[in-house]
A and B are shown apart, each in its own frame.
Chain A
Amino acid sequence: MPAKELDSPCMDCKDTESVLTVRRRQLCGACFKRFVSYKVFRRMEKYKPPRNPQDPRHQLLLPLSFGVSSSVLLRMLDAELERQRSKNFARNTFDLHVLVIEPSTMAGSSVPYDRNYEAVQKIFPQHTYSQVPFHSIFEYVPDMNEIMREYTGPQFTDDSSRSNAERLAAFRAAISTATSATDVDSVLLTRLVAAFAKQSGCETVLWGDSDSRLAAKALAGVAKGRGASLTWRVSDGVSPWGLQFDFPLRDLYKAELIQYESVCPELAEIIIPDEPPSDNVLTKNLSIDELMMRYVETQGAKYPGVMANVARTVNKLETSNSGNASCGLCGGLVGNVKRNSGVTVSSQAESSGSPFCYGCMRSRPEINC
């Protein structure tokens, strides 16, 4: 058979035209998918099949935001389950629960997503799907209004006669700066997902954070005084609620996930495209999380490996085993809040015996900086 003439053959299979360049190698779509899936597969290997066929399988929760990363992760895990089933006599090693926090109940998003929600269930029908509004945090975390009242202090009054949606909106409105608002939102989101996972009997949450996102999260966490909790916010580790938090996409860059999306046409129906970041913003008006995303993006264009190494470095930290009280809001260790938490001598005395950790104290409403 005469050899096919290819302009730039795929460097792995050698007999297809390459369509993408990944880590300085030209690959075809199929080989690219294999390369990417292998990185996730390696992370999922730890979910071994139960020894006894009667034993329950691993129950994993996947929070889906309809963004590129979590949608790609769902597509990969679906393919992995398919592969497991295709083997003779093989059974799945885990079950997937997909959780959607209704985007319309979260900040700033008004994009309709109903069609995306229908599409995802149609395209990947094997999994359990649930959707809850953001303000259902009052139901899943029963003492949440108590926590919020204590956190916001006297200037905020919770009116329990109002609807949960209104109460959550009032709480969030009490937080003044962009940094604190983003910070508290992500804390609440994590709590809601963790509480939902516990109630639905899941042992692990699989977060769809890409490597780039984890690097930004690590740097932002450090900048917000949350260094101690990176061991479960960025590393694969046990969260304060006893659930395992895993990040199976930790070896893939955001750009590679976008490439993956481009070779999987079915994902177009699911993904709600990101709004492009406006480039006309004063640094001082950004939130710390946004600043770090931008930093990782710009530096990552030049030094992707260095950025990737940030998340890898954090993943080497050990979990703290000091039996300390945990923060009422974020669940992190309260630790020694008093020592130099305040910027002034007087505020140091105030914060002693606080039920909240250093990072949460920083985002509190009355601290207006």
Chain B
Amino acid sequence: MAPTACFNCQQARAVIIRPKNRHKLCRACFLAIFETEVHETITGTNLFYPGERVAIGASGGKDSTVLAAVLKTLNERYNYGLDLCLLSIDEGIRGYRDDSLETVKRNAVQYEMPLEIVGYGELYGWTMDQVVEQVGKKGNCTYCGVFRRQALDRGAARLGIKHVVTGHNADDVAETVMMNLLRGDLPRLSRGTKIVTDSDASDIKRSKPLKYAYEKEIVLYAHHRQLDYFSTECIYSPEAFRGSARTLIKDLEKIRPSSILDIVKSGEDMAALVPRNVSQNGKGSQRVAAGEDEATGGCGSQNGRSSGGEMAAMEQQLNENETAESHETEIRLPAGPTSQKLPKGGKVIKKQTMGHCERCGYISSQRICKACTLLDGLNRNRPKTAIEVSVGMEDEESSTTLMRQMERTQLTSAEMLKKNEDEHV
């Protein structure tokens, strides 16, 4: 069979089927198109200004590695005039973060960028492994998410940088849209799709230049540019709503490859339709699974396995609300027509006012910021867990690690197969 010519240049041999639209492309055209799309996202949204100092939130994973590589390339090609550096968070997860940090260190040399590492240990006195030891495997993502947000801000502040870019990709954004829809979380629905999230909560701006890039294309890009990245996902499992949304999106992508982008588009359109008084407030709707401030997409394992606890908890709360409501209406019924006016009238929603945490000085809407509140809880229980528990956890830990390793072996072999399939046109 004659080799297929590249859809774009019609000359070179196609070696890649593009996941976004199944176009057959040669290596050079694929890399160029990928980079051009990121460039268009950046220029279309006026993301940077010349001379801006930008920190790349680098985990050593594929997304942030590709982000660093692409930004370096584009910065040189189009003279953005950016001063780029890498900023890494050391959550303190053994067997995951220590290895991936080595990758980041190599990246810093490869891309000639300065690197700053901020550790949970030094910042909070708790590594994630210690947190998990204390709170167990459920709900530890809350701690990680809250801690990470602050840690990135603090790291950037330490470097005197006002703009942090993260490797969130289109899959992450789509997942967040679906998840917030399932959770009924309107405020986050209105924020999650924005490319820049500079909130009142911090004077450091966050953005996601890979917002329209597919995870699969990021993997292909990393592969064809032979980038040095660390391919293990976090060993702690994702929150149930995110897991459910993730499975759904994988299925959708099989049916119609453009659907990830379509969800992002829908999310952007719907964000504009979220009522103003809700979108300005962080607590407009019922939420059970707290934590994860904004889209902390890139974390959690790819398996989507989870206990489902969050969904069950929300189900229960919704049931209770309904029961309560049905009691209410029975009493309200004789009043008749007046009950109709209720939904439109709108409750007066208290606006968030930003101040500083009394303890650490971090910007917060509360007297004491979320991180300090969580730390309080952790520290209160610390002495109790001296020896016994940690020994018990050790066993469990090692067995799950083993399990994960086995899963990984299976995964990588499956991935290799898939990759071969993609390349073989």
Contacts and interface: CB of A to CB of B under 8 A. Distances in A.
Say whether A associates with B.
yes
Interface of A: 23-24, 45-46, 177-179, 218-219, 221-228, 230-231, 283-284, 286-288, 291, 295, 299, 302-306, 308-310, 312-314, 316-320, 335, 339-341, 343-345, 347, 358-359, 362, 367-369
B275 interface: yes
A126 B357 CA distance: 67
B182 A306 contact: yes
A347 B8 CA distance: 12
Contacts of B113: none
Contacts of B68: none
A209 B197 CA distance: 37
A230 B270 contact: yes
B254 A318 contact: no
Contacts of A362: 256, 258, 262
A222 B21 contact: no
A228 B340 contact: no
A306 B311 contact: yes
A340 B266 contact: no
B184 A219 contact: no
Contacts of B415: none
Contacts of B261: 225, 340, 343
B106 interface: no
Interface stretch (B33-41, B82-90, B218-226): B33-41
A308 B257 contact: no
B64 to A, nearest CB: 22
Given A231-B273, A283-B251, A369-B21, A222 B257 contact: no
A221 B266 contact: yes
Contact of A288 (B18, B23, B212, B255): B255
Interface of B: 18, 20-23, 33, 36-37, 40-41, 44, 177-178, 181-182, 184-186, 189, 212, 244, 248, 251-252, 254-259, 261-270, 272-275, 278, 285, 308, 311-312, 314-315, 318-319, 322, 337, 340
29 contacts: A219-B178, A219-B181, A221-B266, A222-B178, A222-B263, A222-B267, A223-B262, A223-B266, A224-B256, A225-B258, A225-B265, A227-B270, A228-B270, A230-B270, A283-B251, A284-B255, A288-B255, A288-B259, A302-B312, A313-B285, A314-B181, A316-B186, A340-B41, A345-B33, A345-B36, A345-B37, A362-B262, A368-B22, A369-B22
B390 to A, nearest CB: 35
B190 to A, nearest CB: 10
- Secondary structure type dominating chain A contacts: helix
A224 B262 contact: yes
B275 A291 contact: no
B266 A226 contact: yes
Contact of A46 (B244, B312, B340): B340
Contact of A306 (B44, B178, B258, B318): B318
Given A317-B273, A320-B272, A345-B33, A295 B265 contact: no
Nearest to A294: B251
B259 A223 contact: yes
Contacts of A320: 272-273
B174 to A, nearest CB: 9
Contacts of A312: 184
Given A46-B340, A227-B266, A288-B259, A23 B318 contact: no
A286 B315 CA distance: 28
Contacts of B41: 340
A325 B189 CA distance: 25
Contacts of B259: 223-225, 288
Nearest to B185: A313
Given A179-B256, A288-B252, A318-B274, A310 B263 contact: no
B21 A343 contact: yes
